[in-house]
Structure 1
Amino acid sequence: MGTADPVAGARRTWPQRFLITFNCILIVMCVMGASAVGYSYYRFGNIPRVSLGGFLADEPPGRPQNYLLVGSDSREFVQGGDDLDSFGDTSDTGTTKADTMILVRIDPQAETASMVSFPRDLIVTIAGRNEKDRINTALAGGPSQLIETIKLNFNVPVHSYIQVDFEGFRELVNAIGGVELYLENPVRDRDANGNNVSGLDIDQTGCVTLDGDMALSYVRSRHFEELVDDRWEGDLTADLGRIERQQGFITTAVRQAMGKGLTNPGALADLLGVAERNVTIDDQLDPRDLLKLGQRFRSLEPGTLTPLRLPTMPADFGGAENNVVVLDEGQADEILDVFRGIVPGQDVVAPSSVYARVLNGSGRTGEASAAKNGLSGAGFNMADASDADASGRATTTVRYAEGQRAKAELLASYLEVAPALEEDASIRTVDVVVVTGLDYTGVLAAPRPATAAPAPPATDAPAPEQEVESAAPTC
């Protein structure tokens, strides 16, 4: 196995921010997977909470939800030595800021998750201050100000909030027994002066198990080099290559952590202990819901976790030397719509905007009333239920008024058995009429996942990140 050079690194740059990324996602996925052990619910209750009830969006259990994962730049863990050299202390960082902000959308029905990061140097309007500044400064006003800032600038809902500091990175890697990563060539870190800034120096190839210190040096490397044909070659793709390595490490670590955490009670106890020491969650986050999600994501098959890239452009804000960026609004909606729950090519509707009536077409007693109550519980506006003109219909049909197909499709997605759709120009007082048939079985608590795939981006637009491990062997 390779070795990790203890040379200290640069202070608070992207590597430290990536540690938060890893901590957030790994802790969340491991806590979600904790349902396999009975005492995990109790341990979850020990995680500190912050009151955010009035700032979070409300969505019924089972529906897709957005989790805002935030890493603060707190230096409370620094006690001197190597940590002081690598991270600095409070005198270096000033007021608390967000070093990493990741929005993760989890769809429990489709068993998929998407994540997008907000660059810390992205210039936005800060909620409550009515002024432009880096988005990471919004955390100085507390989690509520950061949530409001994200909603104000990106028009995406936030359903849950999870905050982490990066002290637990090495603990997390060690708690799951290390992370096995495929390395095609020996790798190291060398800057222009020949210094190993991050400590990365691994001479092994193939499947290499990285412990906490080695993993730390790998994700912190800003001057990444590989030994190819007896010659050290630097990564010329700069940020793109670095992002790919980061996301490859995340997906590998999460998958391995899920597997180990779910089958090893000792490792799970360690992971939950790390969460207790390094995580804060909102007061509305129900551990039962999170643990149910864990049951759905046990396998974490390839393609389950999809990293997306938010398109940005360089900006001259306070001087070009500040290296800040702004949102590329012309390209951003394609990515942000994923977190808004918008399927490309479909009109945007919500149950609360749909007015519907149910007619009993099967002839079974009480069916129309039961369907009405089920749809009402899902948020639809329901008129009185009654009987159809004829009974014994074989197929459930959703009829819709002119121009209301999107509303009909939304309501249809809540029915356990997919119905037929028909336009009916005679409908006047409601948008949609449901006529139950003998195939009707009930109403879902959450809609079936949309089958439409996101439209491919324009050729000149930044594309969503593909699964970074697909081109390389996995361990």
Structure 2
Amino acid sequence: MNSNPMYMEYVDDADPQPAPPRRGWRILGWVCIGLSAVMVAGSLTAYGLYRKAFGNIAHEDVNAQLGPNRPKKLNSAMNILILGSDTRAGANAKYGRSMKNEPPRSDTMILLHLSPGGGQAMGISFPRDLMIPMPSCKTKTGSTPPASRAQINSAFTSGGAGCVMKAIENISNIRIDHFMQVDFNGFKSITNAVGGVPVCLPKDVDDRQSKLKLTRGRHTIKGETALAYVRNRHGLGDGSDTDRIKRQQKFMGALANKAMSAGVLSNPARLLSLMNATTKSLTTDKELTPQVMMKIAQGMQGMTSGKLRFVTVPSGPDPLDPNRVALNAGAQPFFASIRNDKTVPAEPKPSGAKIPPSQVRVRVFNASGVTGKATRVAEDLESQGFQVTVGGNAPGTRTSKVLYGSGADQQAQTLAGLIPGKPQPAARTSGGSPGVVDLIVGSDWTVLKSSRAGIPKQTGEIKANDDICKEP
């Protein structure tokens, strides 16, 4: 089962055999992430120099497709939908001539969330095989099919970028501000423009199909070699989708890290080359003007690559079809954390009446009935500075509770203040430990409030500045 949009099937340039109908390039959205990194961290004083590059961008009106009934914005965060189109039009035909006349697909759908205050950014992948309630969208032929349950990637084929935006807004209740769509013709130019992308190979590779030939260890690759690396199916890893997905995510994280480095951003010629390489294959909504892009850059100017994270939307096997995926129980709490991402507040000064998280020991018990929930909540608490252990399962309950052992009443107040509804802490009558606060996670749990700012750490996330040789 292919449950992630980063899976990319190999396409021969010469097309010796008819291309199967589902071939596509699912790495494309990560190229847009690299572009977004430039847009949010680039040199603002060089706007005049880059105005010509911005002029390369094509624009599309999606307002009619979206309609009036859209989610409300809850804060000043920016959400940009990144789409990878597998069109074979023009120069793209060399990557699959037999698909030249087929309608383009978007097997890469990434929601780029830019936090308020420039604190962090997150690229959220939506699997191409994700089954969702598909909204009614007007097709390119003028018809309007009724709403149905379908794969999310069919939204682009039938109704374009506006239909994908509408579909994701419907399932997440997140307001999407803009979209960016790229084809794959500029990929080699982008890797050349940044001066190559660092990768790390666990073994020697000499794969005739992808034409990738590299020795074990670290390399900086670009152009045709970079293209062969992201297209490789058999020469690297164990051949599983999971292994390939992680490798491709790490590659694009490294690309974004390189794009945001001083060697690129402080070099006007190199930055202009990167902007030209990317914008020539870019389409956006008509509201995403150069002025808006520069405003985004102003708001995110202080962001570092360590604050750029990549995750896949929480999903699992579809109950109706094991060859497809569906959102799981973690999806709505995750969407809620994106919707409620707040501007970075000033760090509160500790006082005698408040115990800081770093001095609070917490045991997390799972009473929600959802496997792994305690571990995920523990990771959220750790990301906010608490000392956390997982206590295991507890008898099922709907209401989340904060209990404390002797001497931990003030510590319990610190924790309770970050839980929606602020439950009143209660003393443990039995089973408590002195100085320790116990969090009982019930089925009503949504998302931990932030004592500082940001979205809790997600399982399997990758950061743009991760060590390229680190095992996932």
Residue of structure 1 in register with 2:327 after alignment: 327
Q: Deviations over 1:188-216 (max 9, x none)?
A: 54xxxxxx43332212533x120111111
Q: Provide closer, same or farther for how the CA distance between residues 70 and 224 of structure 1 changes in structure 2, counting only shifts above 3 A.
A: same
SS at match of 1:28: helix
Q: Deviations over 1:41-74 (max 9, x none)?
A: 45324421112346376759x9211110111221
Q: Provide closer, same or farther for how the CA distance between residues 90 and 134 of structure 1 changes in structure 2, counting only shifts above 3 A.
A: farther
Could you tell me how far 1:261 is from its partner in structure 2?
3.4
Residue of structure 1 in register with 2:259 after alignment: 257
Could you tell me how far 1:12 is from its partner in structure 2?
7.6
TM-score for both structures, normalised by structure 2: 0.62
CA distance in 2, matches of 1:176, 1:123: 37
Residue of structure 1 in register with 2:153 after alignment: 136
Q: Structure 1 residue 282 and structure 2 residue 285: aligned?
A: yes
Q: Provide closer, same or farther for how the CA distance between residues 14 and 69 of structure 1 changes in structure 2, counting only shifts above 3 A.
A: farther
Could you tell me how far 1:30 is from its partner in structure 2?
2.3
Q: Deviations over 1:78-97 (max 9, x none)?
A: 4665x337xx4234xx3232
Query: Which of residues 461, 465, 472 in structure 2 aligns to 1:465?
Result: 461
Residue of structure 2 in register with 1:268 after alignment: 271
Q: Is the 8 A contact 2:11 2:23 kept in 1?
A: no
Q: Provide closer, same or farther for how the CA distance between residues 101 and 469 of structure 1 changes in structure 2, counting only shifts above 3 A.
A: same
Q: Provide closer, same or farther for how the CA distance between residues 63 and 14 of structure 1 changes in structure 2, counting only shifts above 3 A.
A: farther
CA distance in 2, matches of 1:58, 1:262: 35
> Given residue 38 of structure 1, which amino acid in structure 2 is its aligned partner?
Y
User: Which stretch shifts more, 463-472 or 277-286?
Assistant: 463-472
CA distance in 1, matches of 2:91, 2:268: 30
Q: Structure 1 residue 209 and structure 2 residue 236: aligned?
A: no
Could you tell me how far 1:298 is from its partner in structure 2?
5.6
Q: Structure 1 residue 165 and structure 2 residue 178: aligned?
A: no
Residue of structure 2 in register with 1:124 after alignment: 132
TM-score for both structures, normalised by structure 1: 0.62
CA distance in 2, matches of 1:148, 1:271: 31
Could you tell me how far 1:335 is from its partner in structure 2?
2.6
Figure out how many residues of one structure are paired with residues of the other and give that number. 340
Could you tell me how far 1:254 is from its partner in structure 2?
1.0
Which ranges of structure 2 fall in alignment gaps of 5 or more residues?
Answer: 1-9, 137-145, 343-416, 422-449
Q: Deviations over 1:393-425 (max 9, x none)?
A: xxxxxxxxxx9x989xxxxxxxxxxxxxxxxxx
Query: Which of residues 201, 205, 211 in structure 2 aligns to 1:187?
Result: 205
CA distance in 2, matches of 1:124, 1:58: 21
SS at match of 1:306: strand
> Could you say which structure has the larger radius of gyration?
1
> Given residue 250 of structure 2, which amino acid in structure 1 is its aligned partner?
G
SS at match of 1:256: helix
> Given residue 138 of structure 1, which amino acid in structure 2 is its aligned partner?
A
Aligned residues: CA RMSD: 3.7
CA distance in 2, matches of 1:47, 1:334: 35
Q: How does 1:390-429 map to 2 (within 5 A)?
A: none
Residue of structure 1 in register with 2:44 after alignment: 35
Could you tell me how far 1:144 is from its partner in structure 2?
1.8
Q: Is the 8 A contact 2:77 2:341 kept in 1?
A: no
CA distance in 2, matches of 1:34, 1:16: 34
The percent identity for this pair of structures is 27
Q: How does 1:64-143 map to 2 (within 5 A)?
A: 64-78=77-91, 83-84=95-96, 88-91=98-101, 94-128=102-136, 129-139=146-156, 140-143=158-161
Q: Is the 8 A contact 1:65 1:106 kept in 2?
A: yes
Could you tell me how far 1:34 is from its partner in structure 2?
5.0
CA distance in 2, matches of 1:334, 1:241: 27
Q: Deviations over 1:93-138 (max 9, x none)?
A: x323212110011014142001111111111122113111111111
CA distance in 1, matches of 2:37, 2:20: 26
> Given residue 47 of structure 1, which amino acid in structure 2 is its aligned partner?
I
Which ranges of structure 1 fall in alignment gaps of 5 or more residues?
Answer: 190-195, 226-233, 344-402, 408-448, 458-462
Q: Provide closer, same or farther for how the CA distance between residues 297 and 223 of structure 1 changes in structure 2, counting only shifts above 3 A.
A: farther
Could you tell me how far 1:466 is from its partner in structure 2?
4.0
Could you tell me how far 1:465 is from its partner in structure 2?
1.4
CA distance in 2, matches of 1:18, 1:79: 15
